[in-house]
């Protein structure tokens, strides 16, 4: 099973790019973030024609929003309303493509604004509160003996490692790479013993990005990226992850998202 995560930055505007992605990567599940689309306006027909007849959505008007597309029947889905804001930042679906079911959590973590101080920046305070609620969710999952067969992915809006950003020194006080965010994300990872599979396939000492700003005149030449998007799996699934990649070329498609899709291949 191939699972893709992509911050699409408006699914109605970029539905043709999702179809292009389907032709390029032939995935089984596509998790989209920042869909910016109410549920009743989601372009399901375009994706059904491409073989994705099962859709789970958590969208709101104008901003945020997540959606998961699947070739496999969705046997269960649920939403957690983190921080009680009703802002469409999570949806989980369970599918059974093989012998055992797999639950995929699709997240869009708040960006956090520009100032990394929760005392003066409500957006940053929201981000930290969101991460703490994620920790609690997965601690309960683990404590209840249910932290198996789980995939957690999406735009987590944090680049944790030194080589997950173009310059760790220059970005150390920039939201997405501050010490407090990195520490909170590490606690989320520890809460269910998540495996950050990317760094098994791309060594930690190598640069790895999934996002490049629209502000750069030539994003590819400057290559000032950040790894804001992640795919993690619970320990029981780790051995089944046989490949990982970031489709960097998609950042150069016509009218692209500022994020590139990333994917894993997962076997029973």
Instruction: Express each pLDDT in 224-238 by its tens digit.
Output: 999 999 999 999 999
* Strand pairing report for 2-7 and 29-33: parallel
- Residue 48 confidence (pLDDT): 96
Tell me how far apart the alpha carbons of residues 108 and 118 are, in angstroms, rounded to a whole number. 19
Interval 206-219 mean pLDDT: 96
For residue 262, give the nearest of 244, 246, 242 by alpha carbon: 246
Q: What is the pLDDT of residue 265?
A: 98
Cα 108 to Cα 106: distance, rounded to the nearest angstrom: 7
pLDDT at residue 99 in the model: 86
The whole-angstrom separation of Cα 186 and Cα 135 is 9
How confident is the model at residue 145, as a pLDDT? 87
Query: How much is the pLDDT for 214?
Result: 96
Confirm if 250 and 7 have CB atoms less than 8 A apart. no
Q: How far is CA 239 from CA 26, 233, 236, 242, in A?
A: 22, 10, 7, 7
Nearest partner of 264 among 19, 80, 2, 49, judged by Cα? 2
Question: Checking DSSP bridges between strand 262-266 and strand 241-246, what pairing results, if any?
Answer: antiparallel
**Contact of 52 with 89, CB cutoff 8 Å:** no
Q: Does the pLDDT of residue 147 top 90, yes or no?
A: no
Residue 153 has pLDDT above 90, yes or no: yes
Contacts of 119 (CB under 8 A, 6+ apart): 125
List, in order, residues 6 or more apart from 71 with CB less than 8 Å away.
28, 29, 51, 52, 53, 54
Contact of 18 with 8, CB cutoff 8 Å? yes
Pairing between strand 211-212 and 262-266? unpaired
Following DSSP, what letter does each residue of 206-250 receive, concatenated? S---SEE-TT-TTHHHH--EE--EEEEE-HHHHTTEEEEEE-GGG
The pLDDT of residue 170? 98
Average pLDDT, the chain: 96
Average pLDDT on 201-220 reads: 96
Residue 257's pLDDT is 98
Give the pLDDT confidence of 53-106 residue by residue, as tens digits: 999 999 998 889 999 999 999 999 999 999 999 999 999 999 998 889 999 999
Domains and CATH numbers, the chain: 2-266 (3.60.10.10)
pLDDT of 113 over the 90 cut:
yes
Q: How confident is the model at residue 146 (pLDDT cuts 50, 70, 90)?
A: confident
Query: Which run of H or E residues covers position 150?
Result: strand 150-155
Confidence bin at 195 (pLDDT 50/70/90): very high
Report the pLDDT value the prediction gives residue 237, as an integer from 0 to 100: 97
pLDDT at 154: 98
pLDDT of residue 268: 83
Confidence category of residue 144, pLDDT binned at 50, 70, 90: confident
Strand ranges of the sheet holding 102-108, from the earlier edge strand across to the other edge: 74-78, 90-95, 102-108, 150-155, 229-233, 195-196
**DSSP state letter for 83:** G
pLDDT > 90 in the chain, percent: 94
Cα–Cα nearest to 228, from 142, 127, 136: 127
């Amino acid at each position: 099973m191939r699972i893709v995560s992509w911050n699409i930055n408006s699914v109605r505007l970029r539905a043709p790019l999702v179809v292009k992605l389907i032709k390029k990567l032939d995935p089984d599940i596509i998790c989209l973030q920042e869909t910016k689309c109410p549920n009743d306006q989601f372009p399901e027909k375009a994706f059904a024609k491409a073989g994705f007849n099962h859709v789970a959505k958590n969208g709101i008007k104008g901003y945020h929003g997540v959606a998961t597309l699947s070739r496999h029947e969705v046997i269960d889905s649920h939403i957690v309303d983190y921080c009680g804001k009703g802002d469409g930042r999570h949806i989980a679906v369970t599918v059974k493509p093989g012998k055992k079911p797999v639950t995929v959590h699709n997240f869009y973590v708040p960006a956090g604004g520009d100032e990394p101080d929760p005392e003066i920046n409500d957006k940053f305070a929201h981000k930290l509160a969101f991460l703490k609620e994620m920790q609690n969710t997965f601690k309960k999952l683990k404590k209840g003996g249910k932290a198996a067969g789980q995939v957690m992915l999406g735009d987590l809006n944090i680049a944790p490692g030194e080589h997950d950003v173009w310059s760790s020194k220059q970005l150390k006080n920039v939201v997405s790479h501050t010490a407090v965010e990195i520490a909170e994300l590490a606690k989320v990872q520890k809460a269910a013993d998540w495996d950050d599979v990317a760094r098994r396939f791309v060594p930690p000492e190598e640069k790895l990005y999934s996002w490049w700003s629209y502000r750069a005149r030539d994003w590819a030449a400057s290559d000032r990226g950040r790894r804001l998007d992640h795919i993690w799996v619970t320990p029981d699934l780790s051995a089944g992850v046989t490949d990982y990649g970031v489709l960097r070329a998609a950042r150069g498609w016509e009218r692209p998202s500022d994020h590139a899709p990333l994917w894993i291949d997962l076997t029973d």
